[in-house]
Chain A
Amino acid sequence: QSALTQPPSVSGSPGQSVTISCTGTSSDAGSYDRVSWYQQPPGAAPKLMIYDVSNRPSGVPDRFSGSKSGDTASLTISGLQAEDEADYYCSSPTSTNTVLFGGGTKLTVL
């Protein structure tokens, strides 16, 4: 039972924007200022898209953005493209030097 809760699925049409939420449900879910987001296309390894809530690694399109409000972090993808269809996971460190992953959200581009 993950301490980071994500919606199982979201969908959007090409060109639209979608937002995926990640809510901490445990006091040990760690600092929400350290949330990361990963993209995992079918059959591929995860790819880091956002770190420390809102920072993009080099090479990640600026269509991907992250934010946080209280205990909820969010990943927003604007200008949806077919290639964005994938599973998305949030993660956060804990106070005991482990890492929690959210349950994952399947993004479908209609």
Chain B
Amino acid sequence: EVQLLESGGGLVQPGGSLRLSCAASGFTFSGHALSWVRQAPGKGLEWVSLISGSGNNPYYADSVKGRFTVSRDNSKNTLWLQMNSLRAEDTAIYYCAKRGSAWYNYDYWGQGTLVIVSS
């Protein structure tokens, strides 16, 4: 059974940093691209980043480019999102999602971890 378990969310001040983790199991981790997708309270889904199975090709939404870094360790079946220079508008539930039939659709999602950026 595929499982994705996010952790690391919490309350952080504007300008601060946070590192999210996504522990994966139930599939060949290195063979699948993974993404982070976020959802602000009461709002819609917003794609954040994508990393290939090898970890060599990361992509970012313009809204987080230069502030967020996605990485993965295929030996630990873990995905990370390092978030720096956080802003109030980064407040959201952050989901990790596994690639489905192609890199642009997601067949499994975690339950999400909540990040609140506030002073």
A residues bordering B, Cβ < 8 Å?
Answer: 2, 34, 36, 38, 40, 45-48, 51-52, 55, 57, 87, 89, 91-93, 96-104
Contacts and interface: CB of A to CB of B under 8 A. Distances in A.
Contacts of A103: 44
Nearest to A46: B109
Contacts of A100: 47
Nearest to B111: A45
Interface in B57-98: 59-61, 95, 97
Contacts of A97: 50, 59, 103
Contacts of A101: 37, 44-47
Contacts of B101: 51-52, 55
Given A101-B44, A104-B45, A46 B104 contact: no
A52 B104 CA distance: 10
Contact of B100 (A2, A57, A89, A102): A57
A97 B62 CA distance: 12
7 contacts: A36-B104, A45-B111, A51-B105, A97-B59, A97-B103, A103-B44, A104-B44
Contact of A45 (B35, B47, B109): B109
B106 A98 contact: no
A34 B103 CA distance: 11
A46 B110 CA distance: 9
A48 B61 contact: no
A36 to B, nearest CB: 4
Nearest to A38: B45
A57 B101 CA distance: 9
A91 B105 CA distance: 8
Contact of A89 (B35, B44, B104): B44
Nearest to A103: B44
B108 to A, nearest CB: 8
Nearest to A50: B105
